[in-house]
Chain A
Amino acid sequence: NAGVTQTPKFQVLKTGQSMTLQCAQDMNHNSMYWYRQDPGMGLRLIYYSASEGTTDKGEVPNGYNVSRLNKREFSLRLESAAPSQTSVYFCASRYWWSSGNTGELFFGEGSRLTVL
């Protein structure tokens, strides 16, 4: 069982370069998330997709875009990378239902991005 797979695991970019982080889940979850994790801080939500065909901003969306390509895949794009985007990025998924949501999140292994 692959669970949540994200690529690449490591990436070094120069300021101004662009890149896309890929995420795929094989658990038939309808809801997917992108978080960033910085030292001394909790996970912060960048964007999420409650269901296929919808995306919404989270707490820290500036400088990022997302695409929910299909039910399985949710990509995160940095159009013009900045040093402030140096971070560890986590993709996660869970099953969401409209009457409430106590479902646990399933995470990928993280992507460590350094912007010089």
Chain B
Amino acid sequence: ILNVEQSPQSLHVQEGDSTNFTCSFPSSNFYALHWYRWETAKSPEALFVMTLNGDEKKKGRISATLNTKEGYSYLYIKGSQPEDSATYLCAFSDSNYQLIWGAGTKLIIKP
């Protein structure tokens, strides 16, 4: 059974601080790793889709890295703002192309 683990489950961060969290996934049959941001009462929205080992992607203050050999990805948020409060989801795709989802990291930014 393929398993995707996200840690921590939840995180309280002071406004202005930087933070990061982890997505662990199977290292075999890797095809892609997705990150989504899900704000309360809204739809999950894609942040990044990563496919290559060593890949780094950036969108504003948010960036992600990928290590397919050891099966992990980090999401970094620099200088957290209240609008960053959300649940961050990652999903692993193997060669069958279906996505296996982690349970998410809930990020709460304290003003």
Residues of A participating in the B interface, judged by any CB pair closer than 8 Å: 3-4, 40-45, 48, 58, 90, 96, 100-110
With A42-B89, A42-B102, A42-B103 already in contact, the answer to whether A101 and B44 are too (CB < 8 A) is no
Among A41, A45, A102, A107, point to the contact of B31 (Cβ < 8 A): A102
Partner of A44 from B49, B93, B101 at Cβ < 8 Å = B101
If A42-B102, A44-B101 touch, whether A90 touches B31 (CB-CB below 8 Å) is no
Q: Are B44 and A90 in contact (CB under 8 A)?
A: yes
> Looking at the complex, which one of B43, B49, B98 makes contact with A107 (CB distance below 8 Å)?
B43
Residue of B nearest to A39 (CB): B103
Per-position binary interface string of chain B over residues 80-93, scored 1 when its CB falls under 8 Å from any chain A CB and 0 otherwise: 00000000010101
Q: Which residues of B contact A104 (CB under 8 A)?
A: 34, 46, 49
A45 touching B51 by the CB < 8 A rule? no
How far apart are the CA atoms of A106 and B31 in the complex, in Å? 19
Could you tell me the distance between the alpha carbons of A12 and B99 in the complex, rounded to whole angstroms? 29
28 A-B pairs with C-beta separation under 8 A: A3-B43, A4-B43, A41-B103, A42-B91, A42-B101, A43-B91, A43-B99, A43-B101, A45-B98, A58-B98, A90-B43, A90-B44, A96-B97, A101-B31, A101-B32, A101-B93, A103-B49, A104-B46, A104-B49, A105-B34, A105-B36, A105-B46, A105-B99, A106-B46, A107-B43, A107-B45, A108-B43, A109-B42
